[in-house]
Amino acid sequence: MITVQYNLNNKKGKEVNRLDKPNKKEDRSTWAIGGGVLIGVGAGIFYIRTYPLGIAAFTLIGLGLGLIVASIISRK
């Protein structure tokens, strides 16, 4: 969808595509969440024989750590 955006200073119309991403550095904080979950599942599978609920517990631990790392990364 292309819209016309008016600048208040010079009153000229400029076409802007709303689907384009802004020119910011790519935010990779979401990768921390997915990575934490994958590490948690892997650790849970590794300890499945000694700790049967390990997959669930380690997945939640990995998710929590991923969220903490994501919040730290997104602040910068």
- In tens, the pLDDT along 49-69 reads 999 899 999 999 999 999 999
DSSP 3: E
Question: Which of these ranges, 5-9, 24-28, 59-63, has the smallest mean pLDDT?
Answer: 5-9
DSSP string across 9-60: TT--EEEEETTSPPSPPP--HHHHHHHHHHHHHHHHHHTTTT-TTHHHHHHH
Q: Are 41 and 64 in contact (CB under 8 A)?
A: no
Q: Are strands 2-6 and 13-17 parallel, antiparallel or unpaired?
A: antiparallel
Tell whether the model's pLDDT for residue 44 goes beyond 80: yes
Q: What is the dihedral of CA 37, 43, 45, 48, to 10 degrees?
A: -130
Spans of all domains in the chain: 24-76
More confident residue, 64 or 15: 64
- pLDDT at position 47: 92
What pLDDT is stored for residue 74 in this prediction? Answer: 83
